[in-house]
Structure 1
Amino acid sequence: MSSTKVMSFELNGKKIKTTVTNEVIVINERILSFLQPTNNHGTKVIGFDFEWHPITHFESARINPQTDHFGSDKNSPPPSPATPATFQLCDGNSCLIIYTRPNSRVPLSLLNFLRQPNYTFVGCGIKDNFANLEKHFYGIGCKNAVDLGTLAATIMGEPHLRFCGVDELAFMVNQLDLRKERPINMTFDWGRNPLSETPAKLATINVYSYHKIGSTLLAKYRPQSHPPLSWVSLV
C-alpha cells in the first residue's frame, strides 16, 4: 500500500521538512526539488544514508536451513537476505525518506539521481554501503560518494577523524551538537511502522548532519580544486 507522511523537525534553529513515502509520484517530486542549482555554481551536497530491513537469527536459519548457525564458530554471522528498508536524503532544507518493502523495486528517479555527476553524496561509511548495494542487491551505483571521516581527516589534517561518528564530526567541523535531539528509543522497526516519527527524526538528524559536515568541508576544499574564475587563464 502506498502512503506518505510529512513531518517537521527543528534542528539547529532551523525547521527541516521530512517527507516519508513510498509513492513514486511523491518521490519524483521531492527528488526534482533537489535538482536546483547552487548560488556559487559549486557541487551540490546531499546527505545520504539507508537502513536495512532487520532479520532475526531464527529467520535467517529458516531461510538458509542448510546453514548451522549453532556451530562452534559463534563469531560468524548467519547469511542475511536483508534488503534496504529506507533510503534517506537531505539537501540541508528538506529530507526525503523512501521506504521500501522487501524485494520491492528502487524508484528509477532515485537510481538516476545517484548517478548525477554534479552532485556529491556524503555520509559515514558511504562508500562501503554503495559497494555492498551495487554488488549484492540492486546494482545501485553512485557517481560521487564521499566518506565524511576520510574527508575530514584529509582536510583538517587530523587522522583520527577517520574513525569518528557523525556526532563527533558534526561538533569538530561545524560546532553542531544535535545529541540532545536524538530519540532515546532504539526499538523501532522501519518495516513494521515506516511512518513512525521516532525513526524519521533519527534519520533526519543523521542526513542533515551529513549535509552540514560535507558542505563545510567541501567548501574549504573547493578553492584548491576549483579556483575562482579570476585565477583561471582563458587564453
Structure 2
Amino acid sequence: MHATADGSIYNRWNSKRSVWGRFSTLSKPNPRIDQSQRRMAISIVDYELPYDTHNVYGVSFYNDRVHTMVTSNSAMVESWLSNVTPANPNHRIVGLDVEWRPNNRYHHNPIATLQLCTGPNYPGSLQIPAGTVLPGVSLDPNCLIFQVLHSDWIPHSLSTFLANPAFTFVGVGIESDCEKLLLDYRLRVANVVDLRGLAADRLGVWELRNFGLKRLASAVLGKELEKPKSVTLSRWDSQWLTYAQIQYAAVDAFISYEIARQLNLRGA
C-alpha cells in the first residue's frame, strides 16, 4: 500500500508494485523468552459493562492496548461503525479476520465471529513521541468482535463498510476469508490486500509470501505471537467467548492492521 498525496493508501497495490521501495532487512525477532514472559506479553482487562448488548475489554499485546468491543447486537455494530470514516487516515487500513467452529468431514460450519481492527479515532498523525498524553484523546486502536452467528440481523452499514473501496482490508489468507463471508452471509469485501505479498514486496524478501501471521509478526514487528491449538480449534460458535478467545481474536486483527500500517510507513 502506498501513501497518496492526501495520505490515503491506494487500492490496487498489485498494479504499482514496481514503484514501491524495497527493504533488504527484516525486524530482528525478540531474543528467546521463557513462557512466563510470553504470558506477560498479552493480557486482558474486562470492563464488565452492565449491558446485555455488548461488553468492552482492554487487550494488551506487548506495549499496545487494543480497545475491544464484543457483541452480537447489530445496533452496537452500527454504533461502532459510525465512528469509522475514511476521512480519518488512521481508519483507512482495517485488519480483518474471521473464526468459526472447526469443520468435520460431514459438516462445514459458518463463520461465527468477524473481527475488524482500525487505528485510533484520533485523526492526527501517530508519529508522536512515546509517552505523549493528549487530554481527552485515546491513541488506542479499536477492535470489533462481531458474533455474527448469534446476531439478530446483518446491519446494512456493515455491508456498506465492507464494500467501500476507500478502506483497505488486510490479513493473511484474506481472500479465502472473504469468500467464506460472501458464501455464509452475502457480505462482499471490495478492497483486500494479503499481507504476505505486501510484506514480500515492501521488504524485498520473496520467502515472506509463504509466511503465516505468526511468522510475519516476528519478521515485520519483531514480536512473538502465540497461536495455541486449544484456542484456534475451540468452540467459536459459543455464545459466550472465553478471555483466551477474545484475546486471540483481537490480537489477530490488530496484528494484521499493525503490520500493514508499519509496511505502509516504510514505503511512504
The TM-score normalised by the length of structure 2 is 0.65
AA partner of residue 168 (structure 1) = R
Q: Distance in 1 between matches of 2:240 and 2:201?
A: 37
Aligned residue in 2 for 1:83? 110
CA distance in 1, matches of 2:249, 2:91: 23
Per-residue displacement from partner, 1:148-199 (whole Å, max 9, x unpaired)?
00111111111110111112212222223343xx667426312124332111
Indicate the RMSD between aligned Cα atoms, in angstroms: 2.4
Distance 2:181 2:76 in 1: 23
Equivalent residues of 2:73, 2:152 under 8 A apart: no
> Which structure has more RCO (C-alpha within 8 Å, separation ≥ 6)?
2
The letter of the residue matching 2:234 is: F
Identity between Structure 1 and Structure 2 (%)? 27
Unaligned runs of 5+ in 2: 1-51, 120-140
Show the counterpart of 1:7.
57
Q: Of residues 155, 158, 175 in structure 2, which corresponds to 1:110?
A: 158
Give the distance between the partners of 2:71 and 2:86, measured in 1 at CA: 21
Q: Which amino acid aligns with 1:37?
A: A
Counterpart selection for 2:179 from 131, 142, 153:
131
- Displacement of 1:218 after TM fit? 2.4
SS of corresponding position for 1:33: coil
Partner secondary structure for residue 224 of structure 2: coil
Tell me what 2:253 maps to: 207
Counterparts of 1:48-67 in structure 2 under 5 Å? 48-57=96-105, 60=106
Q: TM-score, normalised by structure 1?
A: 0.73
1:56 Cα shift? Answer: 4.0
Shift of 1:211: 0.5
Deviations 1:42-75 (A, max 9, x none): 8711100001234444xx2xxxxxxxxxxxxxxx
Q: Residues of 1 paired with 2:59 and 2:91: CA distance?
A: 26
Higher alpha-carbon Rg = 1
Which runs of no fewer than 5 residues in structure 1 stay unpaired?
Answer: 61-79, 224-235
